[in-house]
Structure 1
Amino acid sequence: MQVKINGIETRYVLSNEGGGPWLTFIHQLGGDLSVWDQLAGYFRDNYTVLRYDLRGHGKTAVSGEPFGVADLSRDLAALLDVLGAPTTHLVGMSMGGMIAQQFALDYPSRIDTLTIADTTAGTPPEGRAVWDQRAAAARKDGMASLVPATLSRWLTPDFQAAHPEAVEQIQEVLTHTLPEGYAMACEALRDFDLRGKLGTVRRPTLAVAGRHDTGTPPAATQAIADAIEGAQFELLDAAHLAPIEQSHRFAALLETFLEKPV
């Protein structure tokens, strides 16, 4: 399905066979909603599951002007408005986790629970150049130039060897991400910083990290859990896309977490 959100044609998929509470998944930089296919299938009998493509990703149009993570948070709020969702459980991975944190601060009354995976609360000054380099590489050399290094950060060698079909789909999406969409998102992440603000989050929070994540070390995700009162932290045997690489374990953790009384 397509809908215009804040002037941008946005693709979303809604699975509401169960007609239960809303559960929204937000994908990573260089990904699209398909990365959640398996997990959406797991939860759709008991939840109204929403997935969507971020600006400049998948089949969502590229933004006409620069944007920040706060704009991506507003996109989600507008999408929920259009679909008639007053509140949602929110799950975000990597860049999606940054958007989820921003949304929890911007719209605290609209979030039931917060689940973040393989993410950080902000880019330190020494890390800003990396985002500029990736943005420049996408614009100059295209996405193919970024694929090998990105996949090596995202997935362990063991997973890549054991699940070539899953890797192929993730690689296909990354390769066909629009360079300008990717670059603009890199610049948004470069400027992202919620450190010092997360102590105001009062929603139940689950933070998950991959033990072998070199791009976003587990300590960065654990720091978010430490900043939010009562947050739960879990470490999985995976690299950066821990919810995908350890999908069964992640689904079990998420299912147990969502069933806790709020």
Structure 2
Amino acid sequence: MDLTFANGTVNAAVTGEGTPFFLFHSLLSDRASFDAIAPELSRSHRVIVPELPGFGGSKAASGGLADVADRMAEAVKDAAGGGPAIVLGNGYGGFVALQMAIRHPQVASKLILADCGAAFSEDGRQAFRNMAAGAKAKGLAAITDVAMRRLFAADFQAAHPDLMQDRREAFLKTDPDVLQAACAQLAALDLRPELSTVKMPVLVLVGEHDEATPPPMSHELAALLPNARLKILAGCAHVPQLQAPRAFLDAIADFL
């Protein structure tokens, strides 16, 4: 069922019972990117899959990534009732979760950061600037192929046409202004100086073939966090929970 949190500003799907487990989606996808893993996780957890601010039924945050993180911290505290919570973020959702943990150290007891990092290379920053410029000049349809290449390797796309059609349709529902603002925020982001403050256990995951947030970003992230471990997901790209759900669930099982 869908519930709202943070004074009605964050819409989320909620299933199961147990320790609250939040799943934050990527920028180029939506909460349905967790559909393949949420049912199993809900057997042992209360799984809460929000639409991040500005996506779906959630209201946009007025400022930058810090404001998005503050909004999500409020939602996590609200939904978890002030108790311990696990937060998993994929891509953009991982950056939001990490910023949230920096700004609100008590909000989560464990973090899983899948295919993100603390800062992009200059090439990575430019890719976000180019995507934002393309979306502004020509609309989302003009950058859909680029967006899908950032999510999935070409051979995976060719082998899963129905899934790719679904992912394309989901991407085209994104608010262009929200996308452009997020691209600008990610292009400027550098959380490395603050990583030493994140004391909770962190599992850093990355797809072996992720081109959007390449594995070196996860290696750096895990090395700079005080209490982190790193796992590489063989054969996967930027959205491993969709590409290889069983392998993804197995990778997080011991950590949970």
Q: Same fold (TM over 0.5)?
A: yes
Note closer, same or farther for the CA distance 1:254–1:122 as it changes in structure 2 (3 Å cut). same
Does structure 1 residue 228 correspond to structure 2 residue 225? yes
Contact 2:207-2:236 within 8 A present in 1 as well: yes
Q: Give the superposition deviation at 1:30.
A: 2.4
CA distance in 1, matches of 2:60, 2:104: 24
Structure 1, unaligned stretches of length 5 or more?
none
Note closer, same or farther for the CA distance 1:163–1:124 as it changes in structure 2 (3 Å cut). closer
Measured on the aligned residues, the alpha-carbon RMSD in Å equals 2.0
**One of 69, 78, 84 as aligned partner of 1:73:** 69
Does structure 1 residue 119 correspond to structure 2 residue 116? yes
Structure 2, unaligned stretches of length 5 or more?
none
Aligned residues: 253
Cross-structure match for 1:186: 183
Contact 1:123-1:193 within 8 A present in 2 as well: yes
Cross-structure match for 2:22: 24
Q: Give the superposition deviation at 1:2.
A: 5.6
- Amino acid in the other structure paired with 2:177: E
State the Cα deviation string for residues 108-136 of structure 1 (Å, max 9, x = none).
22211111111120235564443232222
**One of 145, 168, 192 as aligned partner of 2:142:** 145
Does structure 1 residue 13 correspond to structure 2 residue 6? no
Cross-structure match for 2:152: 155
CA distance in 2, matches of 1:5, 1:132: 31
Moved more, 195-204 or 130-139: 130-139
Contact 1:62-1:180 within 8 A present in 2 as well: no
Q: Give the superposition deviation at 1:145.
A: 1.0
Length-normalised TM-score, structure 1: 0.89
Length-normalised TM-score, structure 2: 0.91
CA distance in 2, matches of 1:4, 1:172: 26
CA distance in 2, matches of 1:23, 1:202: 19
Contact 1:33-1:52 within 8 A present in 2 as well: yes
CA distance in 1, matches of 2:5, 2:111: 26
CA distance in 2, matches of 1:135, 1:10: 24
State the Cα deviation string for residues 62-105 of structure 1 (Å, max 9, x = none).
44x4x222111111112123334323101001111111111121
Aligned ranges for residues 88-103 of structure 1 at < 5 Å?
Answer: 88-103=85-100
Moved more, 51-60 or 210-219: 51-60
